[in-house]
Amino acid sequence: MSQKSFASSADLADKEQTLEVLGDGIYALTAEGDPNVGAIEGEDFLVCFEAMATPVAAREWLVRLREHTDKPVRYLVLSHYHAVRTLGASAFDADIIVSHENTKALIAERGKQDWASEFARMPRLAKSPESVPGLTWPTLTFTDRMTIDLGGERGDLVLQYCGRGHTEGDIIAWLPRHGILYAGDLVEAQAALYTGDAFHHDWSTSTLDKVRSFGATTLIGGRGAVTHGRDAVNAAIDQTRNFLTVLLAEVSSVFQAGGTLKEAFERTHAALSPRYGKWPIFEHCLPFDVSRAWDELAGIERPVIWTAERDREVWDQLA
């Protein structure tokens, strides 16, 4: 196999961003496989979902959002700790930054290393990286469920932990009155999964069962287009589950047989390529995904911290 450029370091072409208005004051910005973000209007305030990778990138999103509403951002919700989801936070000038308590702990434990790792893996997302003032610290955390009353006739916005998945602290945002669910990176719509910090077994079973149990009719995944309609939502969840199940089964078969990590990578790549190989970030993610799945099978409970150096080692070994 020829040497591929490290992760997405050679992927420099800007993606087209699409702002969809999903209901009265309910927004999703998708970007052809780049990380999605959202916003929900309360009566006199805004809730923003995800912060983007840098303040400069976030300001571009806010310019588009400000064509629709000038309400101040009361809550900035972080679905999980990853740098490309959190480091643009300062641009929102939010009163309250909300996350799962595990997300705050993960930022403290590995936020700095993750920042260096992610910006090197995908420099295109790190627009004006010098604009990041530092790590983003949640100011309000919860463990299971939190409800924000949007006021007037707008109903509630429910923030829910569904179990370990893409990370140890993912949360979703759910609008029961509209059947709209912001899934963060727990569900991807026709984009490959990054599982380098994941808990494959929990994610592919109880966590996705919980996500599915909301019965959403509109789903905004972490990447990919907005999914409309119950069948399409379930198809996106099933597609995510299938990716995880195949990945785990292939890596497991090599692991159990006493094979090598490299063999596990090649076998998993061959098994997933026909269905997922053309989707955004597939080649980027797979070496990190297989490495974490291998560790998980070896009994390493919590994901090993990725650093810029460890990224290169794994990449050179597998890709």
Residues that bind Zn ion (CB under 5 A): 82, 185
**CB-nearer residue toward Zn ion: 236 or 254:** 236
Closer of 42 and 222 to Zn ion (Cβ): 222
Cβ-closest position to Zn ion:
82
CA proximity to 162, closest of 131, 110, 98, 205:
205
Distances (CA, A) of 17 to 34, 124, 225: 9, 14, 10
To Zn ion, the closest distance from the beta carbon of 220 in angstroms equals: 14
DSSP string, 65-115: HTTT----EEEEE-SS--HHHHTTGGGG--SEEEEEHHHHHHHHHHHHHHH
Shortest distance, CB of residue 306 to Zn ion, whole angstroms?
A: 12
Residue 185 Cβ vs Zn ion, minimum distance, rounded to whole Å: 4
Q: Which is nearer to Zn ion, 168 or 250 (CB)?
A: 168
Q: Which is nearer to Zn ion, 34 or 185 (CB)?
A: 185
Q: Are 171 and 160 in contact (CB under 8 A)?
A: yes
Nearer to Zn ion, 161 or 255 (CB): 161
Helices assigned H by DSSP within the chain: 55-65, 83-86, 101-121, 200-202, 208-213, 230-256, 261-276, 282-297, 308-318
Please tell me the total number of residues recorded for the chain in this structure.
319
Closest contact distance (angstroms) between CB of 80 and Zn ion is: 6
| Closest CB to Zn ion among residues 82, 110 | 82
Residues in contact with 291: Cβ distance below 8 Å, sequence separation at least 6, in sequence order: 196, 261, 314, 318
Shortest distance in whole angstroms from residue 23 CB to Zn ion: 26
Min. distance of Cβ 197 from Zn ion in angstroms?
7
Q: By C-beta, is 45 or 160 nearer to Zn ion?
A: 160
Write the burial class of residue 299 (CB in 10 Å: 0-12 exposed, 13-18 middle, 19+ buried).
exposed
- Return the exposure string of 171-197: e unless at least 16 CB atoms fall within 10 Å of the residue's CB, then b: bbbbbeebbbbbbbbbbbbbbbbbbbb
Nearest to 19 by CA among 31, 8, 3: 31
Q: Is 313 exposed, middle or buried (0-12, 13-18, 19+ CB in 10 A)?
A: exposed
Strand 26-31 with 18-23, pairing:
antiparallel
Task: Between 82 and 127, name the residue whose CB sits nearer to Zn ion.
Answer: 82
Least distance CB 68 / Zn ion (angstroms): 26
Tell the smallest beta-carbon distance from residue 62 to Zn ion (Å).
21
